[in-house]
Structure 1
Amino acid sequence: MLIRILICVVVISATADVESNIAPVPLELKLMCAAKFDSDILGLYVENVTGSDHVIHIQCSVDGNKGDTLSFRTLQEHFHQFRGISIFLQIRCSNRGEISLPWPMKAQGLVGLVVYNCGMTQKYADFGSLELLTMPDFLRVLEIRNSAWLSDDTDFYKMINPEGLASLTSDYDCGQDSTIEYMVTSNVSYLFTTPSDGRTLAPDLPSDTRVQDNTYGSNQTFNISNQTMYTSSENKSSEDEFLNLLRSLQSLKLQCHFNKLKLLDESIPHVLPIHHFALMVLGATYPELKVMNYSFSGIRQLPEELQDFRKYFPKLELLDLSWNYLTEVEIGTRPRGVDGRFLTLDVRHNLISNLSVENISSWAMADGVLVDIRDNPIYCGCGMQPLLQKIQSGILFVGKLDKYSYIQEMRCAEPLGVRGLRLSEVTLACGKDNEVSSPSLDTDKTVNIIIVSTVAAVVVVVAALLVVVIVNLRLGSERFKRCLMDFSKSPLETDAEAGKDCQKTKEVF
């Protein structure tokens, strides 16, 4: 789906008609692409691959430094000559190599398309094309990773203005929904350009979550921040614009039926609109979807459509929301999915710090669901004391709660005194001021008190000794001065006793 799920998929391929000896790759692409028969390639992505599926596997390398360009239109025209042959196309770009790839990328016999590290252009070039209405769907596998759509923003706004929306069809909006089984658009960004300033290159993104970026063959690590990942409702103009688009699409009553889709991965998006999931389920069905991946997506709150996932995705088995910014998890209590399907909700590496008996009990009430909250920064403060007591009593994880027994092996992230301890090991001593302590923390406090007391005593003794020494020094100095004066008055007189006293005083001084 183009607007609906922001799915940008690239379908470039070359096929071979063995009987007519037509080359699988167009002559102008011979230096970039190579082809071979490979009936196993499709089975790496989807099920139900029969031995009768004759697949030509085409691999293309697009090097920006060599001035390589690859046009989907060229491949589309070439593939039109073939019948009864399936094509699986893989395109790998380097050094900011680019390909033109109009949505929805239909081509005769093209069953698989994989794109890595490419700049993609002309996304909306086929909008309004009547040829698309007569061409059947073929595509079963779509995978685009570490790439960017380069587009003049005027193309997009022409499509979503009132006149453009009036001509929008389900065939264009939904893409090849009747055949698609495996759909991945991971780490794909949208870079708008203008005719005046030319292409806009990918900017350096702010840091927050480390992700490998191979866009345009950079092979460098960049980071994704909250702002670049998630459109906040605080941006009122963008929010209103998106809601208006949502209402316009509702009025069109477009229908998308992804009857064969089993895997959907839109992880690491550059921007994920707040209403993405509302738009995703609008007029669309996903009766066979088993896996959804929205990790590294900047999600701060579980959307209603995902809380009530059984309503929209009855056979979902894995919902990956790891590495986001969730602070709590709320899920509906709908019954187990179709055919007793069991769902794992992966919310590891989020910002969930508070945990209670009520939380775990509410998750357990959702039949056929397991919430995985490991690797979250759990704060083991006094607010968690009831849960910790239940854990250590050994009576919590029984019955429906048994599947959450892994929680007792999770470790505290804060406070410092209990950091790293398992929840089953932590004993809190919460006073009236809700101070947190543990056996290890109490021992540390005792040792610290002894050390401080000892140091204080030593300081007092040393200070007293210094006072005594200073006083004695001052007294001795006065006596020595008097002796010198006596000697100066009668230097020739010999007073043995006085000399001895002065000598003692001098030695002391």
Structure 2
Amino acid sequence: MWTVYEFCFIFMTFWMITLCVPMKENEPEMEFSLKNPNSAKTNFSITHSRIVEDAQANMMPYQWRHICRIKPVYTCMDSSMVDRVFAMIRNESPICLLCDVRPGYDWDFHELRRFLHNQRDSKSYAIKVRCSKGGNVTLQWPLRAKGLNYISVSKCLLVNYTADYFDNSINNFPDTLVYYSITDCVMYIDVIDFMNVTNNVNKMSKAARCGPEKHLVSSINRNVSYQFKTIPESLIEEVSANISGHTARNYQRGVSVSPITCNYTNLLQIDQSEAKHLGPKHDSVLLQNSDYPVLRLLNLSSTMLTDLPEHLDDWRLYLPRLKLLDLTHNFIKEFKSVMDYGIGSEDPSVGIIDLRYNAITTITLNELKILQNHKFVKVDIRNNPFVCDCAMAEFVHYFQQSTSLAKFGVSGQYKYLLSLKCESPQSLKGRIIADLDQRDLGCATSHPTDNKMYLIVVLAVTTGILVIYVLLTMPQQLKLILSLVKKIKNLGFKPQSHHEQVREAHMIALETSLTSK
């Protein structure tokens, strides 16, 4: 009897022989060449490569086949993504397109929109575009395309950015974007288009006014600048007549009167750092007719701001769940206007207004008192160029008094003030400000607060002397007044009524009593 092993061996041998014959007949390209024994492997690699290329070509616009490739999903992840976006992109595993754009190549967002619109099945896409050596892309705001969930564009020249601003048909395209990032890019703006936008804000489509809205979690426009197209001589007069110092204000007014409202119900992060174009009213445009109920991070660092934005120093009044307002590396000089409205917020945590690396040189007593009442916000003013002179005397005196926890904010978030250091003068650089005394600051021995008390005492004494003088001289003054009244009445004499006679008798009696004194 055959063993099981022998039976299996014979069966497998017979099965292989029957399968190998048709394999040779149906795949002649797999035959080996006597001159090139690796020809079968080479042909197989070419065939496989073509299959892969054809498959990739079916997953992107035809025009992109030379500049874009399908990549593992982690390739399309950015370090700027918040944890929620990372989790979403891992769970969804979208098709990741990595596009490297060089001069001479054409990358147009409209082609992606048409391609995705014509797809029968719904796929999720993540696209990462990188430009080199001056490569440019045609990117039209508001970046709407079916199935586009993530897009990142870096180091590109962006053209035709405003082309869809007044196209209301864009409102009908699905609003699916979760994350977008435009970094280190230059927007190439046609001046005529710019004039059209600023003068017709009220005609802008909702999609253009709000941008990605429904699902957006992160919005990043970092180090984005503008370059204007050269103006033809024939249009210089027209441009000069339509663009003035009021152009930005007109745009803001147009936004303010617009009936369009934007609700960013999922937006957690706004990054507009390293921008050189943010005007003093930027915060008004950002908040006008817009709702950010869950926004956690607003980054306006390195934006050349010289003052605290008017609507952002009211902590959690307009952004009820904000945790960090990053204003570092600007030119802000004071922070006395920061008011804490966190008591009306659902978030009980202490958030941060980060003012490090600005131009704050001194801290006044009024600013200290404002900080003392903060409960839901911490204003971080470390690493500022503090000048340790007499202007800091109130700060030093304040912390040399009895140490009360109230001095450090309701939540104790201002204890770090005790460790602030001088930047100048050179003789005090690096010294802890709270450890200095009046002589270190170059002030008189008396503290400004003592001088104020002296003035108050002098004023009180002077006022008291005047009151005593008035009281002592009152009888003589009253006598003089009564005499003048009597003379005036004699000039206009007429028969007196009984009541007038009685009143005059009382006055004579009063005058007699005063005279006797």
Regarding TM over 0.5, the answer is yes
**Does residue 286 in structure 1 map to residue 292 in structure 2?**
yes
Determine helix, strand or coil for the equivalent of 2:321. coil
Matches within 5 A, 1:236-255: 238-255=244-261
Asked if 2 retains the 8 angstrom alpha-carbon contact of 1:397 and 1:404, the reply is no
Output the CA distance in 2 between the equivalents of 1:371 and 1:294.
Answer: 15
**Does residue 144 in structure 1 map to residue 175 in structure 2?**
no
Output the CA distance in 2 between the equivalents of 1:357 and 1:410.
Answer: 16
Q: Indicate the residue corresponding to 1:343 in structure 2.
A: 351
Asked if 1 retains the 8 angstrom alpha-carbon contact of 2:389 and 2:441, the reply is no
**1:53 CA drift (Å):** 1.5
**1:183 CA drift (Å):** 0.6
**Does residue 310 in structure 1 map to residue 347 in structure 2?**
no
Paired AA for residue 423 in structure 1: I
What is the aligned residue count? 377
Residue from 41, 51, 58 that aligns with 2:97: 58
Q: Indicate the residue corresponding to 1:68 in structure 2.
A: 105
Matches within 5 A, 1:232-271: 238-271=244-277
Determine helix, strand or coil for the equivalent of 2:295. coil
**Does residue 332 in structure 1 map to residue 301 in structure 2?**
no
Asked if 1 retains the 8 angstrom alpha-carbon contact of 2:421 and 2:429, the reply is yes
**Does residue 193 in structure 1 map to residue 200 in structure 2?**
no
Output the CA distance in 2 between the equivalents of 1:21 and 1:421.
Answer: 63
User: Deviations 1:429-455 (Å, cap 9, x if unpaired)?
Assistant: 17996499xxxxxxxxxxxxxxxxxxx
The higher relative CO (CA closer than 8 Å, separation ≥ 6) is in 1
Determine helix, strand or coil for the equivalent of 2:219. strand
Output the CA distance in 2 between the equivalents of 1:69 and 1:270.
Answer: 28
RMSD over aligned Cα atoms: 2.9
1:239/1:363 CA distance change after superposition, 3 Å: farther
**Does residue 420 in structure 1 map to residue 455 in structure 2?**
no
Q: Indicate the residue corresponding to 1:114 in structure 2.
A: 152
Q: Indicate the residue corresponding to 1:205 in structure 2.
A: none
Determine helix, strand or coil for the equivalent of 2:423. strand
**Does residue 84 in structure 1 map to residue 132 in structure 2?**
no
Higher Rg of the two aligned structures: 2
**1:38 CA drift (Å):** 1.9
User: Deviations 1:50-93 (Å, cap 9, x if unpaired)?
Assistant: 865231111111122xx222111122222223333211111111
Output the CA distance in 2 between the equivalents of 1:358 and 1:431.
Answer: 20
Q: TM-score, normalised by structure 1?
A: 0.68
Asked if 1 retains the 8 angstrom alpha-carbon contact of 2:268 and 2:294, the reply is yes
Q: TM-score, normalised by structure 2?
A: 0.67
What 5-or-longer segments of structure 1 have no aligned partner? 1-19, 198-236, 437-509
Matches within 5 A, 1:356-435: 356-392=364-400, 395-398=403-406, 400-401=408-409, 402-429=412-439, 434=444
Output the CA distance in 2 between the equivalents of 1:76 and 1:97.
Answer: 21
User: Deviations 1:345-372 (Å, cap 9, x if unpaired)?
Assistant: 1000111111134323312312210011
**1:400 CA drift (Å):** 4.8
Output the CA distance in 2 between the equivalents of 1:53 and 1:432.
Answer: 65
Paired AA for residue 245 in structure 1: Y
1:378/1:267 CA distance change after superposition, 3 Å: same
Paired AA for residue 95 in structure 2: I
Determine helix, strand or coil for the equivalent of 2:181. strand
Determine helix, strand or coil for the equivalent of 1:144. strand
Paired AA for residue 187 in structure 2: W
1:301/1:294 CA distance change after superposition, 3 Å: same
User: Deviations 1:197-256 (Å, cap 9, x if unpaired)?
Assistant: 9xxxxxxxxxxxxxxxxxxxxxxxxxxxxxxxxxxxxxxx84422222222232222211
Output the CA distance in 2 between the equivalents of 1:289 and 1:431.
Answer: 43
Determine helix, strand or coil for the equivalent of 2:435. coil
Output the CA distance in 1 between the equivalents of 2:127 and 2:289.
Answer: 30
1:40/1:190 CA distance change after superposition, 3 Å: closer
Matches within 5 A, 1:142-181: 142-161=180-199, 164-181=200-217
Paired AA for residue 288 in structure 1: V
What 5-or-longer segments of structure 2 have no aligned partner? 1-54, 234-242, 447-517
**1:309 CA drift (Å):** 3.6
Output the CA distance in 2 between the equivalents of 1:261 and 1:352.
Answer: 32
Determine helix, strand or coil for the equivalent of 1:49. helix
User: Deviations 1:307-345 (Å, cap 9, x if unpaired)?
Assistant: 114221000000000111111102113233323132101
**1:301 CA drift (Å):** 1.2
Asked if 2 retains the 8 angstrom alpha-carbon contact of 1:390 and 1:396, the reply is no
For structure 1, which segment, 386-395 or 150-159, has the greater mean C-alpha deviation from structure 2 after superposition?
386-395
1:431/1:36 CA distance change after superposition, 3 Å: closer
Output the CA distance in 2 between the equivalents of 1:360 and 1:393.
Answer: 14
**Does residue 26 in structure 1 map to residue 71 in structure 2?**
no
Residue from 100, 124, 129 that aligns with 2:162: 124
1:406/1:186 CA distance change after superposition, 3 Å: same
1:116/1:394 CA distance change after superposition, 3 Å: farther
**1:194 CA drift (Å):** 3.4
Output the CA distance in 1 between the equivalents of 2:325 and 2:441.
Answer: 41
- Identity between Structure 1 and Structure 2 (%): 25
Asked if 1 retains the 8 angstrom alpha-carbon contact of 2:389 and 2:442, the reply is no
User: Deviations 1:246-300 (Å, cap 9, x if unpaired)?
Assistant: 2223222221111111000101112111111111111110101000000111111
For structure 1, which segment, 327-336 or 256-265, has the greater mean C-alpha deviation from structure 2 after superposition?
327-336
Q: Indicate the residue corresponding to 2:140 in structure 1.
A: 102
Asked if 1 retains the 8 angstrom alpha-carbon contact of 2:116 and 2:145, the reply is yes
Paired AA for residue 338 in structure 2: I
Asked if 2 retains the 8 angstrom alpha-carbon contact of 1:363 and 1:369, the reply is no
